[in-house]
Structure 1
Amino acid sequence: MQAGELTMSSRNDDLDLDMVYLFLSRETPWARDMPRATFERAVAGSLCFGGFVDGKQIAFARLVTDEATFAYLCDVFVLPAYRGRGYASTLMKHIFASPSLATLRRIVLVTTDAHHVYAPHGFTSLENPERYMELHRPDVYKVAG
């Protein structure tokens, strides 16, 4: 099956935020059960990209960034029916060519199994992982009983 051409938008008004929210909150381990209000705040405070084939959004990525020095790339996905066609790579190329991101000093991400997607775009393991710390709250999306 030939892949349709992927077009991009970083305008939140163009994004199918209902689809993105449903996919993230139901299908991903990192955002499962995220409240809709949390998702909306995250989108409002981020630079988001959508990938579209034949007018349908099939991919998404979000960057938390100051658009000057640093970005955290997160919530990246291509819908399962569209995987294996190079769309993730096309999305990454578009994102990193964006004028507000092309000159950032550092972009970081966390992935459990998609290293092969990011390595061709220059991502490597942390050079000094001992410098990085985190405050991880894995149960923050669970409703208190």
Structure 2
Amino acid sequence: MDETTTAPDAYEISTDAARLDRARIHHWLSTDAYWAIGRSRDKQDRAIDGSLNFGAYETSTGELVAYARAVTDHATFAWLCDVYVDRGARGKGLGTALARAVRDHFASTGVHRIMLATHDAHEVYRKIGFTSLDVPEHWMALQFQ
């Protein structure tokens, strides 16, 4: 079921994937997001298709101004990623609002852990309850080149 929630200053957040401006998301991430520079449009579209997507929209125009997605099994675990706020909409609390919408969406679903990785936005996520790992050496990653 698609959800719509209120966000700061006349913005709304929706999980309706049909509203997403895929070209804009690809442009943002592939040209301005350190973790996704150079990501192909095909890869971005596949990521969108395999995820629960959250868009933040100006209520007056319907324009997409921020985006986040969660990779999830909808039962036990979610990975929050690709959080991006358009440069012209930054400083209005939209990043925090998106992260809060993801948290609130999963709060009643049985998902007991939402993970994320960030180089520079720790305070955005701490505001809504994210903490550093208690035992980071328990976690591992397998990365392909």
- The TM-score bracket by the shorter chain reads 0.7 to 0.9
| Aligned match for 1:86, one of 87, 90, 93 | 93
2:133 is the counterpart of 1:126: yes
Is residue 15–residue 53 contact of structure 2 (8 Å, CA) maintained in 1?
A: yes
CA contact (8 A) 2:30 2:38 kept: yes
Report matched runs for 1:1-145 at 5 Å.
4-53=9-58, 54=60, 55-98=62-105, 101-102=106-107, 103-137=110-144, 140=145
Task: Measure the CA separation in 2 of the matches of 1:44 and 1:11.
Answer: 12
Mapped to 2, the partners of 1:125 and 1:28 lie a distance apart of 22
Normalising by structure 2, what TM-score?
0.87
1 CA distance for matches of 2:130 and 2:104? 15
Q: Secondary structure of the residue that 1:63 maps to in structure 2?
A: strand
Q: Which runs of 5+ in 2 are unaligned?
A: 1-7
Q: Equivalents in 1 of 2:131, 2:9: separation in Å?
A: 30
Give the count of matched residue pairs. 134
Structure 2: distance between partners of 1:59 and 1:121 = 18
Q: Helix, strand or coil for the counterpart of 2:45? A: helix
Q: TM-score, length-normalised on structure 1?
A: 0.87
Q: Any runs of at least 4 consecutive aligned residues in structure 1 with deviations exceeding 3 A, and if so which? A: none
Deviation at 1:120, TM superposition (A): 1.2
Number of the residue aligned with 2:3: none
The answer to whether the 8 A contact 2:9-2:92 is kept is: no
Show CA shifts across 1:75-104 (max 9, x none).
001111111111122222222222xx1131
Larger radius of gyration: 1
**Over residues 50-86 of structure 1, what are the superposed CA-to-partner deviations in whole Å (9 max), with x where a residue is unaligned?**
0001311101001000011000000001111111111
